[in-house]
Amino acid sequence: MYSIIYRSVAVPNFSKFDIYQMLSKARSFNNDNDITGCLLYHNNEFVQLLEGEKEKINSLFDNIKKDKRHEKIQTLDEMEISERIFIDWDMAYHDFSDNTSVPHEKMRQIDAIFDKSSAFTKPSRLSMDFFKNVNQILFKKS
Ligand SMILES: Cc1cc2nc3c(=O)[nH]c(=O)nc-3n(C[C@H](O)[C@H](O)[C@H](O)COP(=O)(O)O)c2cc1C
């Protein structure tokens, strides 16, 4: 199994409504292709983790890189993995500007990681740890 993490910048007219529409199609495709992962939206930037069979992940990422709804796509990490982080999710999604559902302290933690971590300014192994934290803090179904 394989995983890719990248960041990108949303084009100015990519509205929240458009993002939800994109996400709904993406989840259905991911479900059909046994792809899991997590998409985060923060200050007009996306950070996404894709997990699945290597050929499928590479081919989806090729498609995503051609998508005109975002730009400045930068791969942060890609690696063979033995297990998924987002096993239960076709594509977990969190918009950090829409933070009412997240308790203040958790939000502060995530913000700190997102803003300050060197994982998000240059390619780094730390970006995988970041998503493990995100999974624990935001998405764990207990
Ligand atoms: C930030 C971002 C994340 C995306 N994530 C996915 C995804 O996880 N799965 C997916 O099928 N499409 C995703 N897409 C959409 C793809 O870029 C593309 O539109 C989709 O693969 C359909 O391609 P097609 O129109 O060539 O068939 C994403 C697009 C953006 C901008």
Our count of domains for the chain comes to 1
Q: Name the strand (E) or helix (H) holding 135.
A: none
Amino acid at 8: S
Measured distance CA(53)–CA(36) in Å, rounded: 10
What residues does 45 pair with on adjacent strands? Answer: 9, 42
Q: In whole numbers, what is the pLDDT of the chain averaged over residues?
A: 87
Residue identifier of the C-alpha nearest atom 25 of ligand 1:
63
pLDDT digits (tens, 9 = 90+) for 17-41: 999 999 999 999 999 999 999 999 8
Supply the range of the domain harboring residue 84. Answer: 2-139
- Range scoring the smallest mean pLDDT among 41-45, 87-91, 105-109: 105-109
Other Cβ atoms closer than 10 A to 16: 12
Pocket test for ligand 1, best of 23, 64, 70 (most atoms within 8 A of CB): 64
Q: Model confidence at 124, in pLDDT bands (50, 70, 90)? A: low
The domain that holds 112 is classified in CATH as 3.30.70.100
